[in-house]
Copies of this chain bind each other. A is one copy, B any other.
Amino acid sequence: MNLIILSKDDFIEDTSRVNIQDHRLEHIIKVNKPSVGDELRVGLINGDIGSGRIRSIEKNGIEMDVVLDRKPPAPLQLTLIFAMVRPRVFKRVLTQVTAMGIKKVIVINSYRVEKSFWKSPVLEEANLNKYLIRGLEQGQDTIVPEVLIRPLFKPFVEDELPDIIKGTLPFVAHPYTSEPCPYNIGRPVTLAVGPEGGFIQYEVDKLIECGFSTVHLGERTLHVESAISGLISRLM
């Protein structure tokens, strides 16, 4: 936890003082091992970043005086669309792309996605929120990404995608294409990444029809996590 994310509910009445409880309290005591007077990095959810000076440390709460004096880092101008993955991988992907600064994530279906994945509790709102907050804590950011879940490929691509890609360069990762992924685009991007094994040709064709260009990261087949962070870091 490189940043402690605060919510309005943590503040004591109309003061700039907070009382931190729940998993954050545990983490701070175990990892930061702070003393009274120490300063920790804090940020208000969907708000500014700053520091909290510790007033007291008790088993049931840490009190801090908070100053929020900086904007969170600029968002990454990249909308990420990825095919639903194995639930334990999904958690890590969502947390990692949040840490990287992505603010719009769309989880879609693909022929090669196992149907059972869509029933996983990882897609429930409370869980999504947990993974997003973990990513913000990691990346020292406060702005919660928007996550859309779209379990039907065709209506999503036909009805919603044309608006989503407006004003962006849309790329789809496709290992069997001849164009290496470009570097340092300097413009907003929409990036679509398929499941292990890739999108099927029909799906790639639908994305191309919508305006996407196919790109690859070399002749090796990468795990979806490496592919996503690799493509993002190369494009942006």
Contacts and interface: CB of A to CB of B under 8 A. Distances in A.
Interface in A117-162: 138-141
A221 B140 CA distance: 7
A60 interface: no
Contacts of A181: 233
Contacts of A230: 100, 229-230, 232-234
Copies of the polypeptide in the assembly = 2
Contacts of A2: 221
A66 to B, nearest CB: 21
**Interface core residue of A96, A225, A226, A230 (most chain B CB under 10 Å):** A226
B139 A222 contact: yes
A232 B219 CA distance: 15
Interface in A89-124: 92, 95-96, 99-101
Contact of A99 (B96, B184, B220, B229): B220
Interface size class of A (residues with CB under 8 A): 20 to 34
B223 A96 contact: yes
Contacts of A217: 233
A92 B225 CA distance: 10
**Interface core residue of A140, A223, A231, A232 (most chain B CB under 10 Å):** A223
A223 B228 CA distance: 14
A151 to B, nearest CB: 23
A34 interface: no
A37 interface: no
**Interface core residue of A2, A101, A234 (most chain B CB under 10 Å):** A234
A182 to B, nearest CB: 9
Nearest to A227: B229
B73 A218 contact: yes
Contacts of A139: 220-222
Contacts of A96: 222-223, 225-226
A183 interface: yes
Contacts of A229: 222, 225-226, 229-230, 233
Interface string A200-236: 0000000000000000011111110110011111100
Contact of A100 (B73, B138, B141, B222): B222
Contact of A226 (B100, B141, B184, B219): B100
A83 B159 CA distance: 47
